[in-house]
Amino acid sequence: MDTLTHALVGVAVAGLSGHQPALGDPIYIAAALGAQAPDFDIVAQAWGNMAYLRQHRSFSHSLPGIALFAAVIAGGMKLAMPQADVGQVLLWAFAGGLSHVALDYFNSHGAAILWPFRRERKSYPLLNVFDPIIVIMLLAAYATGLPMQEVSYVSFAALALYIFARYCLRRQAVEWLTNRYAGELATRIWVMPCLQRLFYWDFVVETDRRYVNGRLGAFFPLPDIKADLPRQALSPLAAQASKTALGEFFTTFTPFSYFEEQAGGDAGRVNIYDLRYYSGDRFVHSATVSFAADMTLRDAYIHSLGRTVKVTE
């Protein structure tokens, strides 16, 4: 989720303590910092786009990660505020971090909650990365004039109801797609919030013959098909590409990675796509892996958010 939403939820977490908001209250400081801490992995951007994609929502968004952040916050606050109760600071910083990971679990990028046991990012995609309705609801809770603890209760109740409403709409979309592709033996259906529009869903349907990427209205299910790719077994070259650092990255980054061999170079090249995100006339995240005649890796590039970066294996 966006920084503002995480901050508002972090304040609501601290409000559960019964304390009124105060800039110098260790509980509010700890919860607010904890709610932002998992996104500190943005520093990986200094090592390039690939490093950031590989690290973002990985260790930092796991239970060990938020525990480490909570410990660092508690240690730092003990130095800056000796009167602070380290145990309480640790608890509320962890609670803030937990709220961050829980929210991120409900959008399509997901979080590697079970790292290091499971490195793939888990998600149940219901929420957009930025959802103005959530921000309005959280801010509106303060207009009630209630004590802070009750504001927190109202905030979390409203958030839970909204997530449930989105769950019902998503379930409806899944049922509609299941019926539409019933004759094609659909093996997997992925529905997630649309990147550009609030009350639309982006979807991927895997059948016994193909992968279909499209968009569906939450209230008016008229599908707009964006891409239709044949399902096929991995060629020897594509299988080799899947063993490269880029290939392994895509299999943990997305539940729908697609390997497509094409002519070019000495032995050929393989394009890899994350089938979830499609914008304009292309997939948002993709990669190209080229091989020499002896099947050794020649070069590799990742294409993400309109940028192309060469990857060193």
pLDDT in tens, the chain (313 residues): 889 999 999 999 999 999 999 989 999 999 999 999 998 876 656 566 566 666 667 788 889 999 999 999 999 999 999 888 999 999 999 999 999 999 999 988 778 887 888 777 888 999 998 999 999 999 999 888 899 999 999 999 999 999 999 999 999 999 999 999 988 889 999 999 997 888 899 999 999 999 999 999 998 888 899 999 999 888 889 999 999 988 888 887 888 999 999 876 567 899 999 999 998 888 999 999 999 888 888 889 988 877 888 876 5
Amino acid found at 30: A
Length in residues, the chain = 313
Determine the pLDDT at residue 31. Answer: 97
Q: State the DSSP H helix or E strand holding residue 72, giving kind and residue range, or none if neither.
A: helix 63-80
Phi-psi region of 264 (alpha: psi -120 to 50; beta: other; left: phi over 0): left
Q: CA-to-CA distance for 216 and 224, rounded, in angstroms?
A: 6
Q: Given the structure tokens 């480490």, which residue do they identify?
A: 68
Determine the pLDDT at residue 251. Answer: 83
Q: What residue segments make up the domains of the chain, in order of their start? A: 3-130, 166-230, 236-310
Determine the pLDDT at residue 58. Answer: 78
DSSP label of 259: E
The neighbouring-strand residues paired with 258 are 273
Q: CA-to-CA distance for 247 and 256, rounded, in angstroms?
A: 12
Determine the pLDDT at residue 232. Answer: 85
Q: CA-to-CA distance for 300 and 313, rounded, in angstroms?
A: 8
185 within 8 A of 207, measured Cβ to Cβ? yes
DSSP label of 122: B
Closest C-alpha to 149, from 243, 303, 28: 28
Residue 49 burial (CB count, 10 A): 17
92 within 8 A of 25, measured Cβ to Cβ? no
Determine the pLDDT at residue 54. Answer: 65
Q: Given the structure tokens 């964006």, which residue do they identify?
A: 226
Specify the long-range contacts of residues 297-303, CB closer than 8 Å, at least 24 apart.
297/244, 298/265, 298/266, 300/244, 300/245, 300/246, 302/49, 302/50, 302/53, 302/246
Burial 255-274 (b: 16+ CB within 10 A, else e): bbbbbbbeeeeebbbbbbbb
Q: CA-to-CA distance for 98 and 11, rounded, in angstroms?
A: 13
Amino acid found at 120: E
Residue 258 is encoded by which pair of tokens? 């697609």
DSSP label of 266: S
Determine the pLDDT at residue 166. Answer: 96
Determine the pLDDT at residue 1. Answer: 81
